[in-house]
Amino acid sequence: MKKQELLAEFERAFNCPGKDVFFSPGRINLIGEHLDYNGGHAFPCAISLGTYGVFGPRNDDRVELYSANMHGSVVTFKVDDQLPETANDKVWANYLKGMLVYLRQKGYQINHGFNLYINGGLPYGAGLSSSASIEMLMGIVLKTEFHLQIEPVELVKLGQKTENDFVGLNSGIMDQFAVGMSKKDNAILLNCETLQYEYRPLVLGDYEIVIMSTNKKHSLAGSAYNERVNQCQKALTKLQTKLGITALAQLSLEQFDEYSYLLNDDVLLRRTRHVVMEDRRTMEAAKAMQAGDLDKLGRLISASHVSLHYDYEVSGKELDTLAEAAWQQPSCLGARMIGGGFAGSAIAIVKKDAAEAFKQAVGKVYQQKIGYAASFYDAEIVDGSHQL
């Protein structure tokens, strides 16, 4: 969206002029799924679909949040209010309010009110992290407008805290990190345990990443996501009776072979196998990308999907249909579901000059099998949250 258009919308919503305009992207993850809360590696990047925000100061102590996506819904509270919103039509504001609450709790001076107009281009529930996008939008808005001396990675951590403690999803740090820290045309190879990271240029030559959205709505909080987190914690506790590991992804393949008897449970065994193998695949994928071996990168991405389907059990018929239809296309090197799963989106690495035919072919299979249409987007890899 254009800056002028957004400023005009702010003025229509609040009856006074807005001051500054911000953009916060969504994210995709090349590989390394469900590894962040297991202390493993992820390989995400930010995309040009995201959330716009317009800020305007107020000279009282009220905060007014206006969402163009929630049919112009407005949520208002005092700047020092610390409680999550509970009314169904207001809970969307918690992703923003949590950031304000936790920044103030840390002693950052945010002591007058403001208006914030929000307009998101990320379909809600598309698995492209609309939640981290708005958390980090609020982060960059408050940091900029109130001149907060806070490191970007600290804002990322507060984004995760908002998600965990204010919203109630026990998610890891990957989404907020990708949204807050990304660099144009790069993916981030992130160690989710130490938070060490490297930017890796996303060089795909004649290929591009196509995002395939199932258009099936999902709510991670209401799904089995927290259950997966608990199962991994259980597996870790069992392994810790003999091994000095502090996160499941620290388990080597050799240790998995030797110590899996401790798990002695079909579900825990499969969850752990996914974590161990996915972490290896992620490191292999980063190497393959660096070496320009896109065929191998594609195979690893497809193998990740299979592991998420059989071992982690977070796929579903919509995501499987997209991935399997993509694998059938000669122009596609690999495809997999991304994010928490159950619905949301998948990605495919596709030959650029065949991308339109690819979308048509996969879209046709999806429509036939699922009964409604999938959506396709070309992924443009952009910078993390910033002022426009």
- Residue with the two structure tokens 């002591």: 111
Say if residue 126 carries a ligand binding annotation: yes
The residue (of 36 and 279) whose beta carbon lies closer to ligand GAF is 36
> Total number of residues binding ligand GAF (CB under 6 A)?
11
- DSSP notation for 78-124: ETT--SPP-STTTGGGHHHHHHHHHHHHTT----S-EEEEEEE-SPT
Rounded least distance, CB 114 to ligand GAF, Å = 27
- Token representation of residue 280: 């290896």
The residue (of 65 and 174) whose beta carbon lies closer to ligand GAF is 174
Rounded least distance, CB 34 to ligand GAF, Å = 4
Residue 34 within binding range of ligand GAF, rule CB under 6 A: yes
Rounded least distance, CB 158 to ligand GAF, Å = 15
Residue 278 within binding range of ligand GAF, rule CB under 6 A: no
Nearest to 14 by CA among 77, 52, 57, 69: 57
Say if residue 67 carries a ligand binding annotation: yes
Beta-carbon contacts of residue 212 (< 8 Å; ≥ 6 apart): 322, 326, 335, 345, 346, 347, 348, 362, 374, 375, 376
Q: Exposed, middle or buried: residue 368 (CB in 10 Å: 0-12, 13-18, 19+)?
A: exposed
Catalytic residue, candidates 61, 165, 175, 265? 175
- Token representation of residue 347: 């990605």
Residue 311 within binding range of ligand GAF, rule CB under 6 A: no
Alpha carbon 125 to chain centroid, angstroms: 11
Q: Binding mask 337-366 vs ligand GAF (x if CB under 6 A, - otherwise)?
A: --xx--------------------------
Rounded least distance, CB 51 to ligand GAF, Å = 16
> Does residue 255 come out as left (phi exceeding 0), alpha (psi in the -120 to 50 range) or beta?
alpha
Residue 44 within binding range of ligand GAF, rule CB under 6 A: no
175 is catalytic: yes
Beta bridge partners of 66: 74, 117
Q: Binding mask 121-160 vs ligand GAF (x if CB under 6 A, - otherwise)?
A: --------x-------------------------------
- CB atoms inside a 10 Å sphere around CB 110: 18
Using CB under 6 A, which of the segments 31-39, 58-66, 133-141, 276-284 binds ligand GAF?
A: 31-39
Residue 9 within binding range of ligand GAF, rule CB under 6 A: no
Q: Binding mask 159-178 vs ligand GAF (x if CB under 6 A, - otherwise)?
A: ------------xx-xx---
Nearest to 377 by CA among 126, 70, 147, 183: 126
Binding residues: 33-36, 67, 125-131, 163, 225
Residues in the site for ligand GAF, rule: CB under 6 A?
Answer: 33-34, 36-37, 129, 171-172, 174-175, 339-340
Binding residues for ATP: 67, 125-131
Residues labelled catalytic: 175
